[in-house]
Amino acid sequence: MRDQWGRNINYLRVSVTERCNLRCRYCMPHGVPLCTHSDTLRYEELLRICAAASAIGITRFKITGGEPLVRQDCADFLARLKALPGVEQVTLTTNGLLLPQYLDALAQAGVDAINISLDTLRPERYHQITGSDGRSVTRVLEALDACVERGIRTKINTVLLPETSDELALLASLAAARPVDVRFIELMPIGEGRKLTGISQDEALARLRIAWPDLHATSERRGNGPAQYYAANGLTGRIGLIGAVSHAFCSSCNRVRLTSTGTLKPCLCYGEGTDLRGLLRAGCTDEALTLALAGAVRGKPLAHCFNQHSGATERRAMFQIGG
């Protein structure tokens, strides 16, 4: 459906849990309080909301979190979501650590694409950024190759952090021999990200051009995201840049977000949202649910204001929102 500004909203990011097996320093610091299991929507509740979303024209869904694969039966949920009428595409965003365990089930469930988040290839930095054993880098790279071998469309997502600015070309070279896109995302002032300074898309591009002087923008759309893609000789996949802060792409925004506790968020930047869990648990009809969703989508704000920190009213952290 169209929002009040005429944009076609056809994409819902669905967080299935706040919990995570990593503690990325810009997302989920150690010791954060977590919501209770009863605050988290049950799969049946998530599916009811997704069915209502499909009824208003949302055809593409991203399963995210926290780490979605730490929630039991996530692949089964994915299969049930894919089977809903009107659902065309279900993709997953993961830190990759549990992929070896769940890739078969995800493939059987019909996952359409997988995004793997990986900010560094250096074990000691991986440990500093995620709090986890640096040897996990190898595990994540093996999972990436397993996805590619299965023919699953796979992307790497890398947040542009100052401490990894010297290895962007190395990370991008994951797209050299593999048909994988590597996307660099500006750090957003959400949660812990408010206290940190990332590096800009332009600086990243300048650094990447040292390794690939012929890097050139393409007009391809590769997935549902706002990335600007670049190609170069020697790259099988593409390099994507997401200037979430420096290059607002709100005029083409196609998405809304559902937190694992049932708030429908029309824009990442603002705290406002519609409490769908309250509605569901008060026994609302499918019609009332669909109306509430449609109202939230229609009222989506025109633009984020990440470049003026004071206007951003979202106080939840990224692991609570779903990224």
Q: Which spans of this chain sit near ligand SAM (rule: CB under 6 A)?
A: 20, 26-27, 64-65, 67, 93-95, 117, 157, 159, 185, 187-188, 190, 193, 318-319, 323
Q: How far apart are CA 154 and CA 179, in angstroms?
A: 8
Residue 136, binding choice from ligand SAM, ligand SF4, none, Cβ under 5 to 8 Å by partner class: none
CB of 116 to ligand SF4, least distance (A): 10
Which residue, 65 or 240, is less far from ligand SAM as judged by CB? 65
Residue 23, binding choice from ligand SAM, ligand SF4, none, Cβ under 5 to 8 Å by partner class: ligand SF4
Report the DSSP beta bridge partners of residue 256: 12
Using CB under 6 A as the criterion, which residues of the chain lie in contact with ligand SF4 when the complex forms? 20, 22-24, 27-28, 65-67, 95, 117, 318-319
Q: How far apart are CA 70 and CA 137, in angstroms?
A: 18
Contact, 148 vs 206, CB < 8 A? no
What is the dihedral sign for C-alpha 196, 323, 95, 73? Answer: positive
What element of type H or E holds 31? none
Residue 78, binding choice from ligand SF4, ligand SAM, none, Cβ under 5 to 8 Å by partner class: none
CB of 195 to ligand SF4, least distance (A): 15
CA 204 from centroid of its chain's CA atoms: 20
Residue 225, binding choice from ligand SAM, ligand SF4, none, Cβ under 5 to 8 Å by partner class: none
What is the dihedral sign for C-alpha 172, 174, 176, 180? Answer: negative
Which residue, 28 or 55, is less far from ligand SF4 as judged by CB? 28
Which residue, 158 or 274, is less far from ligand SAM as judged by CB? 158
Q: How far apart are CA 283 and CA 166, in angstroms?
A: 54
